[in-house]
Amino acid sequence: MNLLAPEIYNIIVENMPIMAIDLVVVDGESMLLGNRINKPAQGFFFVPGGRIFKSESFVEALKRVSYNELGVELTMNQCDFLGLFEHFFNDGPINEDISSHYIVLAFKIDMGLLKINKKQFENQHSEMIAMDIDEVTSHDNVHKYTKMYAQILKKNV
C-alpha cells in the first residue's frame, strides 16, 4: 500500500469521510484503551483502530490494522461486529485546522484470543491500560466515542 503524501491526504480529509476500523478489545469487564499520541483524539483514551486504504480489502485491512495496533493479525472469526458508526472531530490527523469525519466499522474482540505486543501498541499510544467498562463510561479522559462503545457493551451483557 502506498501512503498518500500529507498534502493530498489533507485534501481528502477536508472533502470526504474516511473509512476506518475500531477494535474494541475486552477481557471480561475490562476494555483495552490507549492514550492517543496522534490527532484526532490526541491525549484521550481511545480504542485501537485505523483507516482502510484504497484497493485494500476489508479482510486485509482488519489484519493490517490489528497487527499495526496490537501486534496480532485478526481474522473475521475472531471478531464480533458491533456496528457502523460516524466519528466527527474538529481536527484532522495531519492538520489541526481541518475537521475530520470517519465512517467506522467497530468490532468487539475477546482479549483472551490475543497476545498483544505492547511495543506495537505504543506506536500510536503513550500508554496501554485495561479499564473497567463502568469506569470507561465515566472517566474524564476517555473520548466520547470510546464511552459510546462501552455503553453498547454494557447493554449487550
Q: Are strands 18-27 and 100-110 parallel, antiparallel or unpaired?
A: parallel
Give residue 64's pLDDT band: very low, low, confident or very high (50, 70, 90).
very high
pLDDT at residue 70, as a whole number:
87
How high is the mean pLDDT of the chain? 90
pLDDT at residue 98, as a whole number:
92
Burial class (CB in 10 A: 0-12, 13-18, 19+), 85: middle
- pLDDT mean over 25-53: 93
Burial class (CB in 10 A: 0-12, 13-18, 19+), 34: buried
Q: pTM to 2 decimals?
A: 0.92
* Grid cell digits, residue 81: 461486529
CATH 3.90.79.10 fits 6-151, yes or no: yes
- pLDDT mean over 112-139: 81
d(CA 64, CA 74): 8
* Grid cell digits, residue 15: 472533502
Strand, helix or coil for residue 61: helix
Residue by residue, DSSP assigns 15-42 as HS-EEEEEEEEEETTEEEEEEE-SSSST
d(CA 8, CA 110): 37
